[in-house]
Structure formats: C-alpha cells, structure tokens
Chains A and B, each alone.
Chain A
C-alpha cells in the first residue's frame, strides 16, 4: 500500500519534470518557429505579420536581394577572418601564459576578463571613440578588429582548459629525441591542444556571426547580416530575411551534426 503510494508520487514527479522541460523548450523554440513559418508567408504588405497563406516565393526572391546577400557575405568574411586571427593569437597566448615566466602575468590575466564581463555596448562605444580619434575609417577592418578583440579571451579560456590536464613531459621527450622547439610545437603540442583550439574557434565564429551590439557601433557603412536585420526592423522584417535565417539555421544544424564531436561539449556563450 505504502509502496504503490510512493510509486505514484514518483511517477507524478517524473511527469511534472517532463512537462516543465517541454514548456521550457517550447519557450526556447517559439520565436524560431515563428521565423521559419514566416519565411513561407505569402504576405506582401508591411509589416509582414499577417498570415496570408503558404508560398515558397521568398526563397527565390532572396537570391534577387543583392543587398541582403552582400550583408551575409560580409558577415561570413568577418567571421572567418576574425576567427582565424583570434584562434592564432589566443592559442599562442594561452600556451605562452602557461609555459613562460614574465612580469605582469596577473594583470594580463585580469585584462582578459574585461571583454567577457563588461557589457558589449561599452566595448562597442569604446572602440568607436578610439577608431574615430585615430582616424581609422570604419568598415570591414574595424569590424574585424573588434570581433578579434572580443573573441580572443574565449579562445584562450578554451585552450587553457585543455592545458590544465597537459603533460609537459611529452614535449621534453620530443626535444630529447632531437626535435627543435618549433617542430615540437606543431607536431606534439598542437595536436594535443586541438580539441580546445577547435572549441575556442567554434565559439569565436558563433560570437562573430551573431554579434549585433559591438558591430552596430564600429561598422561605418558596411552592413553585416545582423545589422541589415536591425535596419529593416522599423519597417518590418521581410520574409526573405526569415528565409535566409531559416537556411542558415538548417546549414548550422547540418554542419554541427556532421562534425559533432567533443568540440561542442564546452560550448557556452
């Protein structure tokens, strides 16, 4: 008697927690479903919110919207270049911080947390004031510089996490066997750190393509995809933007499922 009561209670708790999770996932996916659904919306009048029936038109119209496609191209160029730079700078930095002695290590370490904790808007306006003071024309270059600056810490943290379980003796063995420092770095150190580097790079890439706030201040006339969306918000985001978002989402899901490995385990921000 007592036992069945307890069983029932357990079942009820289980049902409640499943229900709770389902609700949270519904919350998380609701706007995504709106975006995907609206990309098939046959409406042609602003602000493109009323449902007027199903169409695939927006997916073909998307390829005529050169400005939108151009902004997407900019986003990809900035993301790829800034990820490459941030990954190289961050990996070298993490290895150097871990291995060598020098003054001011504590300060450098503290500085790394600034871009992580300070609100993005402050980073954005700070870069804007500096770029305008030293007369760097705002555009592709300033966007790339800004993106590198906020993603480097994340690469470093990822690589560092990997370094903490790292056995230095394998490097010594490599050097004892006659490899020089550079060969050792590429043949021994890098392969061991690869998962951390990959995780950091992936994080840098996602931060870059999603960035709105910092890009908004340093872009000049160059439009990235998120900024293009921002621009269209006042008049209503047209369904072709939704179509592009849907394609990007599908692309990411495919890419991640294909490369699914332990890289993703650490993905955070």
Chain B
C-alpha cells in the first residue's frame, strides 16, 4: 500500500518535476554557479612567468587590490555610478510621472518611444555620442558655424561625458520601474492630500515619494550595479581618464592577461552586489521588481 502511494507520488510529482525543472537546474548549476565558484577559486591562484594560471594557493591577488592606483579607481567607479544613479532619478522620475499620468492610448505610445532607441546596439549608440561630442564632432561644427565658439571644445574624456553615456545606457532601467510604481498610485490619495490643505510640494514629498519609493529603490539597484561593469562606455567616452572597476577587470582578461588578479577584482563586484541587494531587501524591496 505504502509502496503504491510512493509510486503514485513519483509519477504525479517527482517525475514531472524532474522533467520540467531539471534542464533549468542543470543550466543554473553549470553555467551560473560553477563559473562563479571557479572565479572565487581562481582569485586565489598564481600565474607563471608566461601568465598561465597555476593552481597554487596565494592571497597575493587580494593584497594587490589595495594598491593606491586601484583605490583611486574604486573611488572613481563609485562616484560615476552614484552620479549616474542620481541623474537617472532626477530625469527619470518626473519623466515617468508625466507619461504614467497620460491618457492610456498616448501613454502606450510614449512608453514605446522610450524603448525604441534600445533596439539599436548600445555600443554604436555610445559611439554616436562620440561622433556628436568629439573635438571634430558635430556639436563643435555647429557651434563654430554659429560663431558661438572659436576653437573646438573637447567634450570627451571627462567624468561628465562618461556619466552622460552611462545615464544614456541605463536610464530605461530607472524609468520602467518608476513608471510601474507611479501607474499604481491611487489618484484619490493625492486628491485627499490636497483636499486636506497640503500644498503640492508637500503632497509630493509626503505622499507620492513614499508610495513610489519601491520603484526608486529597484531602479537605483538596476542602474548602480551594472554601471560599475560597463567598461565600454568609459572606454569610448572616457578614453582612459575615467576608468572604472569594469575596465580593470577587462584589462586583466584581455590585455594584461593576469586572470587570477582579474578574478579577485570581480569578487569585489560580487561582494558589492550582494551588499547592495541585501540593503535593498532590508529597505523592503521585492526581488521580483528587479526581474522584468
């Protein structure tokens, strides 16, 4: 009797569970978990004189991480990622607010228009900015022809340029969660607030902002973290002056060929990500809001 039940259990639950969830679990184990564990292992490895990885324990890679040159780049990374997040909120919030409060047909079109630019490859769009801003770029030609400036101004290779590129790449990840949060806002609460005599700015600060803070938090996570790794933006627009931790990692794997050091640098990014996600959860953020 008992055996029969377990056989039924197998056919009704265990077997279909294995068939459906199995491939996904294999994928997660072999293509997500294993590689990350392997990075952690490699961060403790040495290299021989030809820069081949030697599987012998060392903590040296981690001691290299606190060299002054690197510390400067971490500071720069945090500065750029922070500025990018703040600018994304300042532009993204009012923008998301305005389109989320439009009439439904118009709203859909305006929303689509945010997504359309992202159908063109991000690299080539960032290169578009370079063509526009460079010292012999289009903005300079226009300004010179209008006699606003005499000599070409180089807008490139500055912290601001990299922030501009980052904002450009990442702003949809701020706008979309804000849009969802603002769309859910109950209009009657806003009316109640103003009926009770609150000035618009007060309604905004004490009703609207707290009710949409979830969107601000998830948007900030989705902007800040990837920003640290977008090495191509600072490569193209910062030209080496605005290197970030992503650039350091890229170099170890592509030109300097010191994989263990690159792995140790990646561990920093993993730790930063975990800490930020924990803070996000502590603040009441829902992991599901980070997904889509």
Contacts and interface: CB of A to CB of B under 8 A. Distances in A.
Interface in A67-126: 88-90, 92-93, 95-97, 99-102, 108, 111-123, 125-126
Contacts of B249: 121-122, 125
Contacts of B221: 117
A161 B16 CA distance: 21
A129 B259 contact: yes
Contacts of A248: 119-120
Contacts of A230: 123, 232
A269 B113 CA distance: 14
A153 B32 CA distance: 11
Interface string B263-290: 1001001100100010000000001101
Interface stretch (B20-28, B63-71, B188-196, B204-212): B20-28
A48 to B, nearest CB: 8
Contact of B263 (A34, A118, A125): A125
Contacts of A186: none
B160 interface: no
A29 interface: yes
Given A31-B168, A125-B39, A117 B277 contact: yes
Interface residues of A, number: 88
B110 interface: yes
Interface string B67-109: 0000000000000000000000001001100110000000010
A36 B108 CA distance: 25
Contacts, number: 247
A188 interface: no
Contacts of A130: 34-35, 38
Main secondary structure, interface of B, reads helix
User: Chain A at the B interface: mostly helix, strand, loop or mixed?
Assistant: helix
A102 B21 contact: yes
A241 interface: yes
A90 B291 CA distance: 14
B173 interface: yes
A206 B28 contact: no
A155 B116 CA distance: 21
Nearest to A104: B25
A212 B232 contact: yes
A116 B222 CA distance: 9
Contact of A126 (B110, B222, B266): B266
Interface string A120-144: 1111011111100100000000000
Nearest to A28: B117
Given A51-B141, A125-B262, A38 B131 contact: yes
B216 interface: no
Given A21-B98, A129-B259, A97 B121 contact: no
Given A34-B132, A268-B292, A96 B20 contact: yes
Q: Which 5 residue pairs are nearest across A and B when measured between Cβ atoms?
A: A96-B20, A31-B128, A119-B229, A93-B24, A126-B35
Interface of A: 17, 20-21, 24-25, 27-32, 34-35, 38, 49-51, 88-90, 92-93, 95-97, 99-102, 108, 111-123, 125-130, 133, 145-146, 148-149, 152-154, 156-158, 161, 181, 203, 206, 209-210, 212-213, 217, 225-226, 229-230, 233, 237, 241-242, 245, 248-249, 252-253, 264-269
Given A21-B98, A122-B36, A133-B38, 18 more contacts: A20-B98, A24-B91, A25-B113, A49-B136, A89-B23, A93-B20, A100-B21, A112-B28, A117-B221, A121-B246, A122-B249, A122-B269, A129-B259, A212-B121, A229-B127, A264-B112, A268-B173, A268-B176
Interface of B: 13-14, 16-17, 19-21, 23-25, 27-28, 31-36, 38-39, 42, 91, 94-95, 98-99, 108, 110, 112-129, 131-132, 134, 136-138, 141, 168, 171-173, 176, 221-222, 225-226, 228-232, 236, 246, 249-250, 253, 259, 262-263, 266, 269-270, 273, 277, 287-288, 290-292
